[in-house]
Chain A
Amino acid sequence: MSKITLENISYVYSPGTPFEMHALEGINLNIRENAITGLIGHTGSGKSTLVQLLNGLTRPTSGRVLLDGKDIWQEPKKIKQVRFRVGLVMQYPEYQLFEETVRADIAFGPKNMGLSAQEIAERVSEAALLTGLDESLLDHSPFDLSGGQKRRVAIAGVIAMRPEVLVLDEPAAGLDPRGRDTILNMLRDYQQKTGATVMIVSHSMEDMARFCDDIIVLAHGKLVMQGRGHEVFARSRELSDVGLNIPEISRLCLMLRERGIPMDDGIFTVEQAEQCLLRLLESREQRTEGYV
């Protein structure tokens, strides 16, 4: 079942000026409910532009955005409700923290929803728990935290609104491998616990291959591919044609195939490669035994 559908979406920055920029052109796509969708594309391919359309921060130049089959711009006055339902964590969200304490900052979204003080407190604790923030941190100033902690506070601030769809623009950018894994693991746990629909934007094929169910590929403002992870990575040749770094292990398999070793198509984890190689070795042993 598709949670969000984009119909023939185009987006133009500064139309009618010499700086006109067609950031998105003719995008049609479906975001599946209860799944993690990864959006990948090279720098400037229009990923951030696309995610800002999903919660109505910007209005498409043409085309429609459907949430549960309903056009989100049907009643522009009620766009705020859409923003509570589709939570967006922007790129480098740690620079948006402003309150005196972490607790107050996480409460900003729920407060704007007009919830009761008790409900807000509950949601703040829940969001802190989900994002792995220690209770003791909640009374610190957000400006005193480390980069990775700030990032979690910012994510918690959106999760506290309990959105049906959680969209994150490069949640792992600029973190070390451990920090990236923690954040991505946390998002997967979150998805499994809450059954929310999650969308993650990233440059990194490797991360996406490991953490996402579905993959959407953008290049130069156009949709190149969409489908289940293994379907998309099976087309690794096309991916490298549009300038995306396919996972290292996929590239290795591709090179092996070019040298005549019949590796399977669509390998994107080391485990898969291992099994494929073992299988190949076995069949080879059988063949050589046959000759003897």
Chain B
Amino acid sequence: MKSITLGQFYPSDSILHRLDPRMKVILAVLYIVATFLCKNVLSFALLLLSAIVLILISKIPMKLVLGGIKAILFIMAFTALINVFFTKGETPIVEWRFIHIYAEGLWQALFMIVRITVLIVGTSMLLTYTTTPIMLTDALEQLLAPLRVLHIPVHEFAMMMTIALRFIPTLVEETNKIMSAQKARGADFTSGSLISRAKALIPILIPLFVSAFRRADELATAMECRCYHGGAGRTRMTILHYSPKDFVALAVIVVFGAGIIVLNRLGIGYTM
């Protein structure tokens, strides 16, 4: 159970959690395209609404989602300022010395903020919050399988990814244990000069590397003992199946995209 605490995955039984991960990757790509199609107030309003709906049906606490957005607040503020000050337009609002602010600039800034927010919220609702990293690599492997024709070792990359993801929580846990053990012998990681702090890491890093190599070795042996020899002819234990709800979700997002295009045509207010 602990392996799924990695990243942002938030366990729940919402419909988004139950969609096929391959479909979720496709939906996320389409959703990103949709955010870039938006051009005017109406389509951006629909976009914002869709993000709120996504949060609601994912059953993920609003607090958590807002916390995630807080992390990119700086980027958003920066983008907004650039847009406010550097967009040229026809309806000036402030003209003072070298500062020229146009109504168009304000609209542009607002649209950019909505777009970035929705991009983050949308992809995290569809992917990171509702899909375990292992499921995600599985889905990517299958979606990218056609690339094998170009001699790209898709399976091997996916396997490496899966193993890495699988062992990150293990390594984190191990790091914590080793740190505790050295702290119990009076090691101090938080005070002293930069050099002494860097030195204090040695008692953690050495045992960590030793055990990581030991683990890698054991895993390789275990895989060989079970006759692992790469992707060719390998069958899967969990076979992904598209179910009707996946196609309903696809239909919904196509209609949503069409809606955005129609609203763009209405030409109300400022158009990007």
Give A residues with C-beta under 8 Å from B.
Answer: 14, 18-19, 52, 55, 57, 80, 83-84, 87-90, 93, 95-98, 108-109, 112-113, 143, 157-158, 161
Contact = CB atoms under 8 A, between A and B. Distances in A.
B181 A93 contact: yes
A87 B185 CA distance: 7
Nearest to A89: B184
Given A96-B207, A98-B206, A112-B188, A18 B183 contact: no
A109 B186 contact: yes
A98 B203 CA distance: 6
Contact of B184 (A90, A95, A97, A143): A90
B7 interface: no
B11 A18 contact: yes
Contacts of A90: 177, 180-181, 184
Contact of A96 (B12, B181, B186): B181
Interface string B156-196: 00000000000000000010011011111111100000000
B172 to A, nearest CB: 13
B188 A95 contact: no
A112 B181 contact: no
Given A57-B180, A98-B207, 6 more contacts: A18-B12, A55-B184, A108-B182, A109-B186, A112-B188, A113-B186
Those 4 A-B pairs whose CB atoms lie nearest each other, nearest first: A112-B186, A109-B185, A98-B206, A96-B181
B5 interface: yes
Given A95-B207, A98-B202, A143-B210, A19 B184 contact: no
B185 A112 contact: yes
A137 to B, nearest CB: 19
Contact of B178 (A52, A57, A95): A95
B211 interface: yes
B153 to A, nearest CB: 34
Contacts of A95: 174, 177-178, 207, 210-211
Given A55-B184, A108-B185, A96 B178 contact: yes
Interface of B: 5, 10-12, 174, 177-178, 180-188, 202-203, 206-207, 210-211
Contact of A19 (B5, B202, B210): B5
Contacts of A87: 184
A55 B182 CA distance: 13
Nearest to A52: B180
Nearest to B183: A57
A83 B183 contact: yes
B233 to A, nearest CB: 38
A57 B185 contact: no
A97 B185 CA distance: 12
19 contacts: A14-B5, A18-B11, A18-B12, A52-B180, A83-B183, A83-B185, A89-B184, A90-B180, A90-B181, A90-B184, A95-B178, A96-B181, A97-B207, A98-B207, A109-B185, A109-B186, A112-B185, A113-B186, A158-B184
Nearest to A90: B181
A80 B186 contact: yes
B174, B178, B182 pick with most chain A CB within 10 angstroms? B182
Nearest to A58: B180
Contacts of B182: 96, 108
Contacts of A83: 183-186
A143 B211 CA distance: 11
A96 B211 CA distance: 10
A158 B203 contact: no
Nearest to B187: A112
Contacts of B207: 95-98
Contacts of B184: 55, 57, 83, 87-90, 158
Nearest to A86: B184
A88, A98, A161 pick with most chain B CB within 10 angstroms? A98
A35 B245 CA distance: 65
Contacts of B12: 18
Given A18-B10, A18-B11, A96-B178, A161 B210 contact: no
A85 to B, nearest CB: 11
A90, A96, A109, A157 pick with most chain B CB within 10 angstroms? A96
A18 B64 CA distance: 12
Given A19-B5, A52-B180, A90-B180, A84 B186 contact: yes
Contacts of B177: 90, 95
Nearest to B186: A112
Contact of A108 (B5, B180, B203): B203
Nearest to A51: B184
A192 to B, nearest CB: 24
A83 B181 CA distance: 11
Contacts of B183: 57, 83
B180, B188, B211 pick with most chain A CB within 10 angstroms? B180
